[in-house]
Amino acid sequence: MAGQCIVGLQWGDEAKGKLVDLLTPDVEFVVRYQGGANAGHTVVVGSEKYVLHLIPSGILYPHVKNIIGSGVVINPVTLIDEIDRLENRGISVTDRLLLSNRAHVVFPWHVAEDKLWEESNQPDDEEKIGTTQRGIGPCYRDKVGRRFAIRLGDMLQPDFRSKLNRIVEFKQRLITATGSDSVVLDANMIYEQYLAIAERLRPMIVDTTEILLNAVEQDRSILYEGAQGALLDVDHGTFPYVTSSNSSGVGVAAGAGVPLRAVSKMIGVLKSYSTRVGGGPFPTELDNPTGQLIRDRGNEYGSTTGRPRRCGWFDAVAARYTTRLSGVDTIALMMLDVLSTLPELHLCTHYELDGEMIRVFPSHVNDLRRVQPVFETLEGWREEITEVRRFDDLPPQAIDYVRRISELLDRPIEFISVGPERAQTILCRLETPVG
């Protein structure tokens, strides 16, 4: 099979977009299979920077068909804005993008609900989940609940208006009942806006499941692009501080609509350190000047929200768990250059929980809060590495760091990123840093 999948193995923001961009020249399809506009993938081409939220990162290549699959929740207003911004920069989108008619639609009431639920009915001392407040969770909730869900293809059906009117009536009563009088849903206005957008998107709204099943059977080359990261997986992440979809490798089949055997290679993406956004336990967090230095060197501010990310040392316990969970074959280690100039580096190899040394990632968030990270210290490197293009040309200390991560995860490292641009990537396929 010719299917490869790229999945983040931390709490998101692992620079997956760059890797998708690097692999796209050799594929025919790039498929985004879960999440929504809460994702932010950044691709740097020369002096040009592209920030993508819904559109797959392969959109910059004319020969590639980019698919937003049925597992994604789509805000059509956001999508149109993203299309316009790309086309204004000379990127032809409409002939490269296909949208699943099964994908669920984010409406204004979802955004309103998201804000209300995040800001209300919560003690001041309780840690917030930290959603992007873009309506993703409420849309997934309606998808599972079925009764108040609208799919992209539904907006092209004759009963779209009557369905929307019924839902708006209920949602207005629900929002008002929470004590919010500031949110007023105008069914006519929403209908006119979304119908106009649906007509514009009509040529791109298709049965992508059928297209992908045919492509799989024809052994055509497909790259599946995950959003967020495996530690945010709704079933297998640090619940409840997670996203609303299966953001680990287990989600690709359901989200894209293909059999599991369609993915022949799983590439796990990791930063050379750890970050997370929002609430939830973070065992290796550095709430100190070193953490701020990593944040500044790595520009660790959300591409979707602009929020500063929490930064910490690399957590091999968590990464080993998500590597196994997602069935990862090889690793892409990103942003190694950010660690340059640090005199010492620390790798978390174990946790201590109730006096016991463990390598198992706790399944309950309360246990994860109580663990103490056990670190291994390695010597850092002083020189910048952004111009290095061969593994053997890295400083010896950087080579040792990469090798140790590979050993701890028991996986070969295939790619090393030393900067944001395409060229700033070391391919290790002939120089495997293990064994």
- Mind telling me the catalytic residues? 13, 41
Give the bridge partners for 113, in sequence order: none
* CA separation for the pair 336, 224 (Å, rounded): 24
Question: Could you tell me the two tokens for 86?
Answer: 């790309």
Half-sphere exposure of 196 (CA within 13 A, CB side): 8
Beta strands in 34-183 (DSSP E): 41-45, 48-52, 65-68, 73-74, 97-100, 104-105
* CA separation for the pair 405, 394 (Å, rounded): 15
Q: Could you count the other beta carbons within 10 Å of the beta carbon of residue 68?
A: 25
**Which residues lie below 8 Å from residue 320, measured CB to CB, with a gap of 6+?**
359, 361, 408, 409, 410
Contact 109, 115 (CB under 8 A): no
Contact 422, 389 (CB under 8 A): no
Token pair 């639920």 in the structure block, residue: 117
* CA separation for the pair 13, 321 (Å, rounded): 18
Half-sphere exposure of 209 (CA within 13 A, CB side): 12
